[in-house]
Amino acid sequence: MNKPLAYLLLACCLTAPAAACAQVVYVPEEVHFQAPRVPDFVEFAGQTYRFDRPDLYERMDRELINFTYGHTNSTLMLKRAERIFRQIVPILKENGVPEDLKYLMAIESNLDPKAYSTAGAAGLWQFMKATGQQYGLEVGSEVDERYNIEKATVAACKYLKEAYAKYGDWMTVAASYNAGQGGISKRISDQRQKKAMDLFLPTETSRYMFRILTAKYFFEHPEDFGFHVTDTYPYLPPKETVTVSEPIPNLTDFAEEHGTTYFFLKEANLWLRSDKLTNKAAKTYRIIIPTTEYDGM
């Protein structure tokens, strides 16, 4: 605080009533971080996206500002990134999907494996019930594999590769993940374009593409946004998994039989949505058995 301002506040306290003086609060001087400038370009899934058109520049600038000042979500995403990306990236690679598509998943769920939207989308990849089932996920009252990180990522890869076979452009694939393939295909036909970046789209889908580009820039250069996260949530590989094909009448009993607790078992296996596994169809499930501390994700 500079001296003239300090003297002014002191004079106020000496001359004003006590109640008025109590309203004077000293706020230390701080450096208020600005959103980063729009970069010349961002590379995404083998494609270079430049922002040399006024509309592209403004759309990118909006998302840079949003990430900079959305402190809670931005900080939590940085803390979760190592844990989640370490599980997601190998599956993307195994399925021939560019690693950059992990940023689609990041903006879908803020990297929260428990994410559930008001529309009913669930898990990291935010599958709706019908779409999840369409791509091979079991979705029911006791088992909801939209919360199974491995299986949901495999399902997402199926969708992404199917869309890429149709559009041949990963950003258009990303837009279809938000707006649906039917909606994107109709606009491509109606507007006589080939890529989503050249389409006039609803605001949500238009922003979605630039949020993905911003997410990549954000995770690679968080300091440019004013974030300096040093402690991240670690990934601890599961110590044991068990395969079951029979019913589990009580998951608390099951957890104790395997040396853990109901809490840790459920946290490590978010796809188990009840306190039992009826399993009338005798399906085979792989259940993570955490140790004394939670290490399922």
Considering only 17-26, 198-207, 219-228, which range has the smallest mean pLDDT? 17-26
The predicted structure's pLDDT at residue 32: 52
Q: Determine, yes or no, domain membership for 295.
A: no
Q: Determine, yes or no, domain membership for 116.
A: yes
Task: Assign residue 149 the CATH number of its domain.
Answer: 1.10.530.10
Mean pLDDT, all residues of the chain:
89
Residues 134, 278: one domain? no
Residues 63, 178: one domain? yes
Q: Determine, yes or no, domain membership for 231.
A: no
Q: Which residue has the higher pLDDT, 2 or 229?
A: 229
Mean pLDDT confidence for 168-197: 97
Angle between helices 71-94 and 203-220 (to 10 degrees): 90
Mean pLDDT confidence for 4-19: 44
- What are the CA-CA distances from residue 37 to residues 43, 60, 188 (Å)? 16, 10, 31
Residues 246, 149: one domain? no
pLDDT tens digits, 52-101: 999 999 999 999 999 999 888 999 999 999 999 999 999 999 999 999 99
Q: Determine, yes or no, domain membership for 294.
A: no
Tell me how far apart the alpha carbons of residues 19 and 1 are, in angstroms, rounded to a whole number: 23
Tell me how far apart the alpha carbons of residues 287 and 149 are, in angstroms, rounded to a whole number: 12
**Residue 239 — pLDDT band, cuts 50, 70, 90?**
confident
The predicted structure's pLDDT at residue 34: 85
**Residue 292 — pLDDT band, cuts 50, 70, 90?**
low
Q: Which domain holds residue 23?
A: 1-30
Domain count, the chain: 3
Q: Determine, yes or no, domain membership for 297.
A: no
Q: Determine, yes or no, domain membership for 36.
A: no
Residues 8, 71: one domain? no
Residues 182, 208: one domain? yes
